[in-house]
Amino acid sequence: MPEQNGCSINAIRSDESEDTDCLIEKNTVLHRCCPIRLQLATLMFFGFAVVYALRVNFSVAMVAMVNTSDSKRVLNHSVVRACPLPSGKDNTSDTFVQPEGIPQYLWDPETQGWLLGGFFFGYLCTQIPGGYLSGHYGGRLFLGLGVLCTAVLTLLTPLAAQLGPTWLFVLRALEGFGEGVTFPAMMALWTRWAPPLERSRLMTFSGSGANFGAFVALPLTGYICQTLGWPSVFYICGGVGCIWAVFWFVLVSNDPRTHRWISHGEREYIINSIGPQGTGHGWSVPLLHMLLSVPLWAIIITQMCLNWSYYTLLTSLPTYMDNILHFDLKSNSFLSGLPYLGAWLFSVLSGVVADFLIERGVFSVTTVRKLLTFAGVLPSAAFLVAVGYVGCDHILTVTFLTLGSTIGGASASGVFINQIDIAPQFAGFLLGITNTFGTIPGVVAPIVTGYFTEDHTLAGWRKVFWVAALINVVGAVIFTIFGSGNVQPWALMEEKREEVEANGTTPVPT
């Protein structure tokens, strides 16, 4: 619950005059049109938009990179279709026509699968190390280098493709290796920059850049492929990432204490409201306590469950649209991006609602996190199941997917930022742990989908949607029962130790 003065929910109380000063500083900052922390959130927003555009554009550009016309001719007489082809459509008309001189490659489906999955091999490796180092040194360097390295490597994609699929797989894995540090670094930065009563809206806004980037990249990549050729996709997106990095390193610092242009009022407000939690952790972290923490395991399991449906849609939805519904993703790429647009808008809105409920004392932090997680999961699971029962109706399919993803964006202010609630100083490290586990469904879910859809029937896909929805609900139930929004004792011990050392008194044994 927030303190009576509304200034901090986690900072250690001192005397009454300091509380009054903190309230005055808060009121001063709230009247500024563009505080530095909002500039930081905006830069993060565009940074995550870039990295997710770099992630999504490859899956779309793959259609243009691969010459599949021969294989489609062979399959014309052997495929049993669950839904009839739209009138006037033939099987050879759905490839991207490339400008003269643009190479295409004869990669079989297995090779394409390895190339699409190569990113996650690297992505899994750097989540935990990135979170640990960001928590100790600060997230500015790691987030900036993560985006910059991914952008530079993206510029090399056409060359790697020309050298062969092995080189391209290694390049994609290296991109994942670089991008793996970005989200933990974001959490580590907000540990030092986000006042407790503004955490939800600052973090959801900055992280929502991922959905915005996916929404923009889907139609833009298809358009660039058709007009300029698929190599231009990687040159343009990689170049934008490099430009973003220049602004990032010039304008961002790890801590409000060291920022060159921050006002005195904003700096004091942030420092006073966050308290000792707004500092980096030492080299040692309470691993045993983390291992035995029930709220942490609730976050891990819930994020794995919620990511199951996310990765199912991310990796398998294009197949469903193309092979089952024969949906023209090139002409209607805007429609395929609508679920990401809805999730972006709703996640930002949920952040504002969460902070409002906490600041006004309507609900505790714990209740808000659980409420928004459940409110996001249940309707989205219901819409996901409904997709399996609309048959071959394109309009209802897009509508249900968009509504499900939109409402699901509410969970962005729930379980997905809960790490900073239970252990602010270790939030970056914890996010690295939860994101590592949360990436596992990205590997397992497509395998399960392939098992259910071997016969390419609507009944098989209905099982896919049911499994994803049920796993989502199980995750929400687990978080509702075992989740917490309170700072955990093992995190409080570190905080108290730093307070004692700062006061120059004898440390009390813990």
Question: Which residue pairs, CB below 8 angstroms and at least 24 apart, start in 37-41?
Answer: 37/193, 37/194, 37/195, 37/198, 37/202, 37/256, 37/266, 37/270, 38/202, 39/251, 40/189, 40/193, 40/206, 40/252, 41/202, 41/205, 41/206
Choice between 239 and 96, residue whose per-residue pLDDT is larger = 239
Range picked from 10-14, 218-222, 320-324 for highest mean pLDDT? 218-222
Once rounded to an integer, what is the mean pLDDT over residues 382-399?
Answer: 86
Q: Is the pLDDT of residue 476 over 70?
A: yes
Choice between 87 and 132, residue whose per-residue pLDDT is larger = 132
Q: How far apart are CA 321 and CA 342, in angstroms?
A: 19
Helix/strand/coil (H/E/C) assignment for every residue in 353-370 = HHHHHHHCCCCCHHHHHH
pLDDT at 298: 95
Q: Is the pLDDT of residue 197 over 90?
A: no
Q: What is the DSSP string of 298-331?
A: HHHHHHHHHHHHHHHHHHHHHHIIIIIS---TTT
pLDDT at 11: 41
Q: How far apart are CA 9 and CA 345, in angstroms?
A: 27
pLDDT digits (tens, 9 = 90+) for 362-379: 889 999 999 999 999 999
User: What are the phi and psi torsion angles at 66 (to 5°)?
Assistant: -105, 130
Q: What is the pLDDT of the chain when averaged over all its residues?
A: 80
Domain pair 34-68+104-278 / 285-505, same fold: yes
Q: Is the pLDDT of residue 351 over 70?
A: yes
pLDDT at 357: 92
Nearest to 29 by CA among 195, 222, 244, 205: 195
Least confident of 161-170, 230-239, 484-493: 484-493
Q: Where are the domains of the chain?
A: 34-68+104-278, 285-505
Choice between 489 and 110, residue whose per-residue pLDDT is larger = 489
Q: How far apart are CA 210 and CA 147, in angstroms?
A: 12
Burial class (CB in 10 A: 0-12, 13-18, 19+), 210: buried
The neighbour count for residue 454, using CB atoms within 10 Å, is 8
Residue 15's pLDDT band, with cuts at 50, 70 and 90, is: very low
Stated pTM of the model: 0.78
Who contacts 459 (Cβ-Cβ below 8 Å, separation ≥6)? none
Burial class (CB in 10 A: 0-12, 13-18, 19+), 486: middle
Distances (CA, A) of 182 to 146, 147, 404, 480: 6, 7, 27, 28
Once rounded to an integer, what is the mean pLDDT over residues 455-477?
Answer: 89
Choice between 418 and 223, residue whose per-residue pLDDT is larger = 418
Once rounded to an integer, what is the mean pLDDT over residues 427-435?
Answer: 87
pLDDT at 219: 81
What is the architecture of the domain spanning 34-68+104-278?
A: Up-down Bundle (1.20)
**Which listed CATH number (1.20.1250.20, 3.50.50.60, 1.10.10.60, 3.40.50.2300) goes with 285-505?**
1.20.1250.20
Q: How far apart are CA 450 and CA 468, in angstroms?
A: 14
Length of the chain as a residue count: 510
Q: Is the pLDDT of residue 88 over 80?
A: no
CB 432 within 8 A of CB 130: yes
pLDDT at 332: 54
The percentage of the chain sitting over the pLDDT mark of 90, rounded to a whole number, equals 25
Q: Is the pLDDT of residue 44 over 60?
A: yes
- 408: tokens are 């699901």
Least confident of 66-75, 330-339, 461-470: 66-75
Least confident of 84-98, 324-338, 431-445: 84-98
Nearest to 347 by CA among 402, 419, 408, 417: 408
pLDDT digits (tens, 9 = 90+) for 208-251: 898 898 888 888 887 888 888 889 999 999 999 999 999 999 99
Q: How far apart are CA 56 and CA 313, in angstroms?
A: 13
Q: How far apart are CA 207 and CA 47, in angstroms?
A: 9
CA 364 to chain centre: 25
Least confident of 63-67, 103-107, 206-210, 217-221: 63-67
Least confident of 69-78, 252-261, 294-303, 326-335: 69-78
